[in-house]
Amino acid sequence: MTSQDNENSEYYIQFIAESTTPKAMTLQQIREATQNDPTLQHAAHIIQKNLWHTLDTTTFSKDTYIDIRELKLLRNIKDELTVSNDKNIILRDTRIVIPKSLRADAIRLAHVGHQGIVKTKSLMREKVWFTLIDSLVKSAIDSCIPCQATGRPKPPQPLLMREIPKENFDTVYIDFLGPLPSGETLFVLIDGRSRYPVTKIMKKTDAPHLIPCLDEIFATFGLPKKVISDNGPPFQSKEIKKFMDDNGIQHKTITPLWPQANESETFMKPLMKAIRTAHLQKQNWRRTMQEFLLNYKATPHTTTQVATATLMFGRNTRTRLPQTDTKTDKNALDHSVEQRDKEQRQRMKECADRRRQSKTTTMNIGDYVLVRQQKHNKFTPNFDPKPLRIITVKGTMITAERPGFAVTRNQSFFKPIKTTGLSSEDEEEMEDSDEHEEQRDIGDNENNNNHNQDEQQNLERQYPRRERRRPNYYH
């Protein structure tokens, strides 16, 4: 190569370098960073001398800080690489090879405006290049909190289907429907096996009115083993907890804002439609509701293909339609119902998972997440941009917290993020939260192991003492 060719090549490299340098990153910065990058300096030497064949036999000590893996990746594109005479600028075709110390800055500049992964990578490839550019760009954007907060939710989890209870009234679901046209509220109980509904009209939904209603239903059907409800105030009261404990009933609450977990919600839709229809036609909605219940209980359920009253009582229920007298074999009926229920649930699961494009996402205690929030206007992000840390995982029910705030939701409400996306303020808050939690744990252990009340009072408290008062109804 003649001196004129060398001069032309140097001019070409200089022109390309100046025209493709990202905004706010100077060519001088790239020169200095490349000069201080042992790997790129060695690569420049290899390019000039065409010594790529020596990589397989050359060993580098740790003191040299040369990344042999990056050199081998560069060897795969050796025919596309050129270097300046001073070894301070390396090009891949017309793109600058960014040294390791400036790669994060280059990604940050390309991500200004918060374009997505594809667009950001496209912009990066147009101007610059470095090894593992795709994975580094994806990792950086995945940890960008504003992008994650305004981005789409992750695909929902595959459905978890419950097994049908072995006996009638073993597991029941309860909920409220209302307010009704009269201002009252309808209490609804659904048997988990037969899907048999029980309804009661109530003027109030507090515990003193709910407990007599439950007593009346349980006196007719017996005590269930498990009662499943939402997290409404009536079901969270101390009176209801005591009532369930006294009767040996396991009370389980579903995940907040996740009505799909309560099977009574399915019955609410046709029931509410019947009441609305009666109200629209100016009919007596109470009578219309009873007529609806009569036909509903005698209609084969879509899952079991057996009428709810038949499965509950073992006999056919008379309606206004004519029918023949037939006997029901309860043992054969129970076996066929369990088989159909299992098949139908599996079919529903496969159909729902396919339609929702479900994908399994693992979330563990200690992971950082964003939680979906209610949208107040078009500019409200889909997720609260303040990160939380997961503290408990119970199946798909997850509890996460940050200092001064905790929330329990279904797993689909959370979006996992990488810790590298946390700002320094977020990290400090999380560290403070860890310290306070650790201090509380230490304090709890000391209190449990120390039975001397005087010594407990002398323990140094890490948070203000709560003032506890005896409730008025205990006086």
The alpha-helical segments, DSSP class H, found in 81-169 are: 103-110, 117-127, 133-142, 145-150
| Ranges of the chain whose pLDDT falls below 70 | 1-23, 63, 419-475
Ordered DSSP codes for 205-248? -SHHHHHHHHHHHHHHH---SEEEE-S-HHHHSHHHHHHHHHTT
Give 52's DSSP letter. Answer: G
Give 113's DSSP letter. Answer: T
Is residue 346 domain-shared with residue 383, that is, in the same domain? no
Is residue 340 domain-shared with residue 397, that is, in the same domain? no
Is residue 343 domain-shared with residue 373, that is, in the same domain? no
* Domain total in the chain: 3
Please say whether the beta carbons of 210 and 240 come within 8 A: yes
Angle subtended at Cα 104 by Cα 103 and Cα 110, rounded to the nearest 5 degrees: 90
* 458, part of any domain: no
* 442, part of any domain: no
What is the torsional sign of CA 312, 317, 319, 321?
positive
**Domain stops at, among 125, 143, 161:** 143
**What is the predicted pLDDT for the residue at 210?**
93
Element at 201 (helix H, strand E):
strand 197-202
* 280, part of any domain: yes
pLDDT in tens, 229-249: 988 888 888 999 999 999 999
**Domain stops at, among 143, 158, 187:** 143
Per-residue tokens: 461: 């408290």
**What is the predicted pLDDT for the residue at 298?**
92
Is residue 342 domain-shared with residue 372, that is, in the same domain? no
pLDDT in tens, 161-195: 888 898 999 999 999 988 888 889 999 999 999 99
Is residue 346 domain-shared with residue 371, that is, in the same domain? no
Give 300's DSSP letter. Answer: B
**What is the predicted pLDDT for the residue at 4?**
65
Between CA 83 and CA 70 the distance in angstroms is 16
Percent of the chain whose predicted confidence (pLDDT) is above 70:
83
* 228, part of any domain: yes
CATH number at residue 74: 1.10.340.70
* 161, part of any domain: no
Is residue 187 domain-shared with residue 133, that is, in the same domain? no
* 11, part of any domain: no
Is residue 265 domain-shared with residue 191, that is, in the same domain? yes
Is residue 190 domain-shared with residue 338, that is, in the same domain? yes
Full domain range(s) for residue 403: 367-416
* 117, part of any domain: yes
Is residue 44 domain-shared with residue 133, that is, in the same domain? yes
Is residue 135 domain-shared with residue 196, that is, in the same domain? no
**What is the predicted pLDDT for the residue at 59?**
78
**What is the predicted pLDDT for the residue at 369?**
92
CATH number at residue 258: 3.30.420.10
Is residue 113 domain-shared with residue 214, that is, in the same domain? no
**Residues in a beta bridge with 202:** 185
- Nearest one of 345, 207, 157 to 266, comparing CA atoms: 345
* 462, part of any domain: no
Is residue 217 domain-shared with residue 337, that is, in the same domain? yes
Between CA 107 and CA 127 the distance in angstroms is 11
Between CA 231 and CA 174 the distance in angstroms is 11
- Predicted TM-score (pTM) of this structure: 0.66
